[in-house]
């Protein structure tokens, strides 16, 4: 079980968001859904140096924002991913809403 959040904003562009996610992270598409498993692109990232059963986080791109799930792994990758998603959303939104699910 992970920590589930929804990030939403008024001026969200799903196509631009998907392009951002694909450029910014290593992405593995989940085979049966729109879920994207995300891994940080950093040299010291645990996701790149070890074989793990779960990604640090996964997202789905929705019409008004991201569904985000932190898989609660013992590294900082999920926090870096969350921060990058928030910063992306703030480029087109004056404010964003983060809701715990």
Can you give the pLDDT at residue 74? 82
% pLDDT > 90, the chain: 70
User: pLDDT tens across 48-78, in order?
Assistant: 545 566 889 999 999 999 999 999 988 889 9
CA-based diameter of the chain, in Å? 39
Can you give the pLDDT at residue 20? 97
Can you give the pLDDT at residue 92? 92
Q: Domain ranges in the chain? A: 3-100
65-70 vs 36-40, strand pairing mode: unpaired
What does pTM read for this prediction? 0.87
Asked if residues 98 and 6 have their Cβ atoms less than 8 Å apart, the reply is yes
pLDDT, average across residues 14-31: 92
């Amino acid at each position: 079980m992970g920590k589930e959040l929804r990030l939403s904003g008024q001026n969200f562009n799903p196509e631009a968001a998907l392009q951002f996610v694909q450029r910014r992270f290593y992405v593995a598409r989940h085979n049966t859904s729109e879920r994207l498993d995300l891994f940080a692109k950093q040299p010291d990232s645990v996701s790149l140096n070890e074989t793990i059963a779960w990604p640090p986080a996964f997202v789905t791109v929705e019409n008004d924002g991201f569904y985000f799930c932190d898989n609660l792994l013992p590294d900082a990758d999920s926090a870096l991913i969350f921060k990058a998603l928030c910063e992306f959303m703030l480029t087109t939104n004056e404010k964003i809403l983060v809701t715990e699910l």
